[in-house]
Amino acid sequence: MIDLRSDTVTKPSDEMRKIMFEATVGDDVYREDPSVNELEAYAADLFGKEAALFVTSGTQGNQAAILVHTKPGQEILVDNEAHVFLYEAAAASAFAGVQTRTLENEKGKMDMEELEGSIRGEDIHFPETGLIWLENTHNRSGGSVLPLSYMREVYELAKQHGIPLHIDGARIFNAAVASNASVKEFAACADSIQFCLSKGLGAPVGSMLVGDKAFIDAARKKRKMLGGRLRQAGVLAAPGLHALKTGIHRLAEDHENAKMLAKAIDDFTELEVINDVDTNIILADTKRSGKSAAEWIERLKEAGILAVTFSPVTIRFTTHLDVSKDDINSVIESLKKL
């Protein structure tokens, strides 16, 4: 079975398991876990920020950021297909007491004129804008990359209005590799950024939150409120550090495999690829075949291929480090038979 459901399904390598076994640990609540401390210092330096915080998941990192940046009764400006709006169980309203104001997007980009016109200040009738939110790469748009030029423009707007900007950078390394840019350049366009260790980089658990020291100090307390303070967390931080040091350079291979698979889907099936394959995600529409996404998922499973439904008529395929070029060729041969 070739698993193309998500880049979260990767298994830790033997080398990574050995690193977990041998990790030097201490009590992170006391800030005494050497592996966690090393990971946080490395991540902060990599992104050009003053500090970093190890969190258990991308959702926890995002919610900690919201708790720091906003106060109850404010609103977040976010695109209408963002992960924080669709897939985080309304945590922003439940925990931070803020509402999300959603704007239409094109490949993750909100219109600049509409964005500026949506910013609200002090008025007894309205919630104040407390935070502007970007997601890069943009999952619902098929892993599309928000260009640095756009991100700089949004950040400049945010600074003009004195509003913080956060990046949900769960797959920010994919964006950087596809753009031939550094993550430091992307991080310079925001006050804070969350990124996942457990997606394209292949670590088994965890994400990072980076920002200035005052922000991370505050986020550390919010992490505690969210139940995210761990004790001997080095057994999780050590593979995360290994993933950061070794996993970035090979993401281009995932992007190449995705493009090769997308071409085959268009060439050999009744499915229609509907996104520009910037990175490692392919969205395929099933309408032309007269079958639903759920029906296709079952057909694919019978052929030894796992994918996920993205809508009643859309399937998502995601390439990752546990799927080789040979695996993609095997998938293509199976698609030809379908």
Handedness of CA 273, 311, 168, 151 (dihedral sign): positive
Residue 32 in tokens: 């005494």
Run of H or E residues at 109: strand 109-110
Does residue 327 fall inside a structural domain?
A: yes
Does residue 38 fall inside a structural domain?
A: yes
pLDDT for 259 equals: 98
Does residue 9 fall inside a structural domain?
A: no
pLDDT for 108 equals: 97
User: 206 is in which domain, residue-wise?
Assistant: 14-246
Residues 155 and 43 placed together within one structural domain of the fold:
yes
Does residue 203 fall inside a structural domain?
A: yes
**3-state DSSP helix/strand/coil % of the chain, to nearest 5:** 45, 20, 35
pLDDT for 68 equals: 98
| Per-residue CA distances from 140 to 3, 109, 125, 164, 271 (Å) | 19, 12, 33, 24, 18
Residues 208 and 110 placed together within one structural domain of the fold:
yes
> Which of 227, 246, 265 is a domain's end point?
246
Question: Distance between CA 23 and CA 139 in Å, rounded?
Answer: 33
> Which of 200, 215, 246 is a domain's end point?
246
% of the chain exceeding 70 in pLDDT:
100
Residues 63 and 81 placed together within one structural domain of the fold:
yes
Does residue 8 fall inside a structural domain?
A: no
Residues 270 and 324 placed together within one structural domain of the fold:
yes
Classify burial at 328, counting beta carbons within 10 Å of its beta carbon; exposed 0-12, middle 13-18, buried 19 or more: buried
Does residue 5 fall inside a structural domain?
A: no
Work out the mean pLDDT of the chain and round it to a whole number: 97
3-state DSSP call for residue 270? coil
Residues 213 and 277 placed together within one structural domain of the fold:
no
pLDDT tens by residue, 11-70? 999 999 999 999 999 999 999 999 999 999 999 999 999 999 999 999 999 999 999 999
pLDDT tens by residue, 71-107? 999 999 999 999 999 999 999 999 999 999 999 999 9
Residue 126, number of CB atoms within 10 A of its CB: 12
Secondary structure string (H, E, C) spanning 277-329: CCCCEEEEECHHHCCCHHHHHHHHHHCCEECEEEECCEEEEECCCCCCHHHHH
Q: What are phi and psi of 226, to 5 degrees?
A: -90, 5
Which string of b and e fits 268-297 if b means at least 16 CB within 10 Å? Answer: ebebebebebbbbbbbbbbeebeebbeebb
Secondary structure string (H, E, C) spanning 192-227: EEEEECCCCCCCCCCEEEEECHHHHHHHHHHHHHCC
Residues 109 and 215 placed together within one structural domain of the fold:
yes
> Taking a C-beta distance cutoff of 8 angstroms, is the pair 98, 75 a contact?
yes
CA proximity to 172, closest of 154, 156, 159, 190: 190
Q: What is the pTM of this model?
A: 0.96
What confidence tier does 283 reach under pLDDT thresholds 50, 70, 90? very high
Domain tally, the chain: 2
CA proximity to 275, closest of 179, 137, 182, 77: 137
- Residue 251, pLDDT > 90, answer yes
Does residue 279 fall inside a structural domain?
A: yes
- Residue 293, pLDDT > 90, answer yes
CATH of the domain at 277: 3.90.1150.10
Residues 222 and 280 placed together within one structural domain of the fold:
no
CATH of the domain at 132: 3.40.640.10
Residues 260 and 191 placed together within one structural domain of the fold:
no
- State the helix-helix crossing angle for 172-179 and 251-268, rounded to 10 degrees: 80
Residues 237 and 311 placed together within one structural domain of the fold:
no
CA proximity to 220, closest of 209, 231, 233: 209
Classify burial at 133, counting beta carbons within 10 Å of its beta carbon; exposed 0-12, middle 13-18, buried 19 or more: buried
Residues 39 and 154 placed together within one structural domain of the fold:
yes
Residues 148 and 131 placed together within one structural domain of the fold:
yes
Does residue 26 fall inside a structural domain?
A: yes
Residues 103 and 206 placed together within one structural domain of the fold:
yes
Question: Distance between CA 23 and CA 34 in Å, rounded?
Answer: 9
Residue 23 in tokens: 């990790």
- State the helix-helix crossing angle for 213-225 and 58-69, rounded to 10 degrees: 110
pLDDT tens by residue, 196-210? 999 999 999 999 999
> Which of 230, 246, 262 is a domain's end point?
246
pLDDT for 338 equals: 84
pLDDT for 152 equals: 98
% of the chain exceeding 90 in pLDDT:
99
Mean pLDDT, range 220-239, rounded to an integer: 96
pLDDT for 196 equals: 98
Run of H or E residues at 75: strand 75-79
pLDDT tens by residue, 131-184? 999 999 999 999 999 999 999 999 999 999 999 999 999 999 999 999 999 999
